[in-house]
Amino acid sequence: MTTLPSLVSGALALTIGLTAGALQAAERQQYGVQAFDTGNLLMGQGNQRQAPNQRQQPNERRAPQSRQGGLQFNYTHLTLWSGSEELGEDGPEGDILRLEGALATGDAGYVFLNWQEADHEELGERSTRELGFGFQEHYADRTSFFITVSYMQDRWDGDEDTWQDGNMLRGRYGLRARPTDRIELDGAIVYTRGTGSTDMDSLWSMDLGLSLYFTESIALRIGAQDLDGLQPTQSLGLRVEFSP
């Protein structure tokens, strides 16, 4: 027969056992939380130590220096010119209408097409078409160099005894410079020689231009093309550039 003291002793033993188990579980839980917080703290400190290194890493998509600050030399454009053309140093002048177009093909290349009509009242009409390709290289933040190679046709609708049709190859080496965001200066050395059945002396000439930008993509152009060359012209133009 079970007595009261034995029941009390059993109850005390059970109570002590349960209390000890609860204390051990609480202790393990506390130590586990502290270890977890310590691990997070160490990981956070490690991330904080790595953050400056991450900020110092260069951005692979960073734009080249020549294109920072919204400044870039866009070679995709349409330009409409109106002016006059001279035939030789003392030759007659004629009114011209000229359209230039270019399309960028990648980061450095572009293709272009130039078409010009000139009206010489006594000699007739002259039509010139030029098709070529070019390459450009940003030299500095405000300077870009370019080189072009092209094929040109020169056709006359008039007195064949005075002026003859011709086929030519033409090369240019020039630069574009931006002293300010709204002003651009450009110039090029031009080499022209006959090709095929066209027999003509090689010519060296020069292109000069000034652009006044109203916006980032629209500019008023003042130009003198092919000075001392085959068809020296002085003209005023409007240039519209398009984002590549």
The answer on 87 and 194 residing in a single domain is yes
- 3-state secondary structure at position 236: strand
Give 171's strand partners: 149, 191
| Entry pTM | 0.68
The answer on 84 and 44 residing in a single domain is no
Mean pLDDT in consecutive groups of 10 residues from the start of the chain, 244 residues: 45 47 51 48 49 48 39 88 83 89 92 94 87 92 94 82 81 95 95 86 93 95 89 93 84
CA 15 centroid distance within chain: 82
Number of structural domains (the chain) is 2
Compute how many other C-beta atoms are within 10 angstroms of the C-beta atom of residue 79: 21
79 within 8 A of 221, measured Cβ to Cβ? yes
Gap between the Cα atoms of 107 and 105, Å rounded: 7
Q: Which domain holds residue 145?
A: 66-241
The answer on 141 and 37 residing in a single domain is no
The answer on 72 and 162 residing in a single domain is yes
Q: What is the pLDDT of residue 156?
A: 86
The answer on 216 and 104 residing in a single domain is yes
Of 237, 236, 235, 239, the closest CA to residue 218 belongs to 239
Q: What is the pLDDT of residue 18?
A: 46
Enter the tokens of residue 175: 């630069």
Q: What is the pLDDT of residue 65?
A: 36
Boundary (domain end) residue, out of 57, 76, 105:
57
Enter the tokens of residue 49: 């130590």
CATH of the domain at 180: 2.40.160.20
Q: What is the pLDDT of residue 17?
A: 52
The answer on 87 and 184 residing in a single domain is yes
Q: What is the pLDDT of residue 12?
A: 43
- 3-state secondary structure at position 116: strand
The answer on 104 and 18 residing in a single domain is no
Of 230, 165, 169, the closest CA to residue 195 belongs to 169
Gap between the Cα atoms of 76 and 146, Å rounded: 14
The answer on 84 and 8 residing in a single domain is no
Quote the Cα angle for 234-146-155, to 5°.
45
- Specify the DSSP class assigned to residue 188: E
The answer on 99 and 41 residing in a single domain is no
The answer on 28 and 106 residing in a single domain is no
The answer on 193 and 226 residing in a single domain is yes
The answer on 16 and 132 residing in a single domain is no
Gap between the Cα atoms of 76 and 243, Å rounded: 7
Q: What is the pLDDT of residue 196?
A: 80
Q: Which residue has the tokens 């240039």?
A: 239
